[in-house]
Copies of this chain bind each other. A is one copy, B any other.
Amino acid sequence: MRERSPRLSSDAGKRARTRARLTEAALRLMSERGISATSVSEIAAAAELANGTFYLYFRDKSEIVAVVCRAVTQAMHDDMSSTRLSLDDGAARVAYGTQQFIEIAAAEPVWGRLLVSAFTEFEAIKEDIAHYMRLDVALGIEQGRFSEPLDEFVIDAHLAILRAGVVARLAGAGPDVSARAAEYQLRILGMNVKEAKRVRGSDKRRAASTTTSRLG
């Protein structure tokens, strides 16, 4: 019973802080030079910890990769979920989700670059993103907004367009890229050109959370 008080809580605080140092260092490095090109020793060094300390917090490299990638996608979804869910039209949700995803990636390039890397080096992340896509596309279909049925390849195509949008935006393309990516997705779903342009709207700009590159 004695472990309950200051001791444990202060230790737990320290543990959490050290762990955060590691994940933050990992995020920065993996974003800069790619996931597989980042070594455990580099992460530990960047966090000003000895090599071995890393293994007190993560079983191995793949574990921290998963943790960091998941935290980033989670943060991005949190950033956009309330507005996205306030939209009644499934097509509008699809468009908003994609535009916002790309714009957040551009505003927080550390997140964006990590995710681009994760698309090939931690493929599980795709499923996290696809999950929301499926919901929005299904809603749009139910509402009769799309002619294309929902299946795996449609989602693959959506993910591919999303990724291409993030890459282009990070490479310096203007904000029109996110609107176009959304428009292309709607066209793939069978919506005509004019309606797709209308739905993706003029400019759903990032209502940016002020937190810069910090993960919850």
Contacts and interface: CB of A to CB of B under 8 A. Distances in A.
A185 B180 CA distance: 14
Interface string A137-162: 00000000001000011001101110
B164 A157 contact: yes
Interface magnitude class on chain A: 20 to 34
A64 interface: no
Contacts of A160: 157, 160-161, 163-164
A152 B176 CA distance: 13
A188 interface: yes
Contacts of A96: none
Given A187-B190, A193-B190, A180 B167 contact: no
Contacts of A152: 168, 173
Contacts of A184: 157, 188
